[in-house]
Each structure stands twice: as structure tokens, then as C-alpha cells.
């Protein structure tokens, strides 16, 4: 014989929160997590930008780690306490980095980070390589619009400046 158990609202809420805590969370970068996000930064850059030699990313690793990341507000996406993605925002509007571990791509994690930042910032802009068609498609789905076409100052490769603002 099967018995059904009826729960109070408080019990349901507690169970829901308990399950969410084990699934994912977005929080600010901890001081001891920089190496972890830099590993993601390097691996995903090499995978996503096969039109740029690997040495370019290796040469820029220290500058990003020691200069850009400390200046940025960085949010990490954790799944079961493992960092699977991060987004870094400079000067309260420029997305300098959005990277999701390769094995976790296509699961909506990047979108969750963008959506989170949309609740924090009134506008955001970013630079994306023109050859990175997957990223361009992703940002368009997140309501970013192409504003400027230019050559990247460091690599010389064509990129787009894309922008989103809360007012549309």
C-alpha cells in the first residue's frame, strides 16, 4: 500500500533551496579562484579561436591574470562547487571575458551569466572576433547588437563591438 505525504509550504521551500544549492550558483570571484578561471580562459580561447595561433593566448596570459582580472568585476558560475564558467566586466559596462568550459557549453550557462549581469548593469558592450560566428550568434540571442566593425588593436584581426542596453 502506497501512502502520500503532504508537505507544508515551508518544507517545500526548504527542499527546493536545498536542491538548488547543490546544482548551481553565481557569485563573485574569490581570491583563490584566479588560477582556476585562467585555466578556463586559456583552454577556451585556444579552442574557440582556431584562427589565432596558440602562442598569442600564451603570450597574453600573464597580462590578463595580473592586470585585467584584478580590475574587473568577475562573476563565476559554480556547479556542485566547481567553477564551470565566468564573466568579467570592466568599468561597469565592458564584458572583457565570458568563458564556459568546453564540456559545459550549450547548457545555457553563458546565458545565465549574461542574464545575471543584465540585472546588475544598465548597459554592456563587448568585442568579439568576426570569425567567431558561434559567439556572435550567442550574443545576438542575448539581444546584443553589432555597432562597430574594426580590427583588434592587439591581434589585428577583424572584430565587432556589440552592445546591449536595458532600454533596448
Ramachandran quadrant class, 116 (left: phi over 0; alpha: psi -120 to 50; beta: rest): alpha
How many C-beta atoms surround the C-beta of residue 103 within 10 A? Answer: 8
pLDDT digit string (tens) for the chain, length 168 residues: 444 445 566 655 555 554 554 567 899 999 999 999 999 999 999 999 999 999 999 999 999 999 999 999 999 999 888 999 999 999 999 999 999 999 999 999 999 999 999 999 999 999 999 999 999 999 999 999 999 999 999 999 999 999 999 885
Element (H or E) spanning 137, and its range? helix 133-141
Contact 121, 130 (CB under 8 A): no
Q: HSE of 155 in the Cβ direction (CA atoms, 13 Å)?
A: 20
**Within 24-108, where are the H helices?**
34-48, 54-63, 69-71
Give the global pTM: 0.84
Amino acid at each position: 500500500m502506497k501512502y502520500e505525504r503532504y508537505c507544508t509550504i515551508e518544507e517545500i521551500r526548504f527542499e527546493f533551496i536545498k536542491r538548488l544549492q547543490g546544482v548551481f550558483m553565481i557569485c563573485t570571484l574569490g581570491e583563490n579562484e584566479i588560477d582556476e578561471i585562467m585555466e578556463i580562459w586559456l583552454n577556451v580561447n585556444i579552442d574557440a579561436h582556431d584562427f589565432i595561433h596558440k602562442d598569442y593566448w600564451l603570450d597574453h596570459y600573464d597580462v590578463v591574470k595580473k592586470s585585467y582580472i584584478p580590475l574587473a568585476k568577475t562573476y563565476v558560475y559554480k556547479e556542485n562547487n566547481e567553477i564551470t564558467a565566468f564573466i568579467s566586466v570592466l568599468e561597469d559596462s565592458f564584458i572583457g571575458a565570458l568563458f564556459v568550459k568546453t564540456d559545459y557549453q550549450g547548457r545555457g550557462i553563458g546565458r545565465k551569466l549574461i542574464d545575471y549581469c543584465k540585472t546588475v548593469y544598465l548597459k554592456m558592450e563587448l568585442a568579439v572576433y568576426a570569425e567567431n560566428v558561434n559567439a556572435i550568434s550567442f550574443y545576438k540571442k542575448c539581444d546584443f547588437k553589432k555597432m562597430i566593425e574594426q580590427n583588434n588593436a592587439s591581434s589585428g584581426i577583424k572584430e565587432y563591438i556589440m552592445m546591449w542596453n536595458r532600454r533596448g
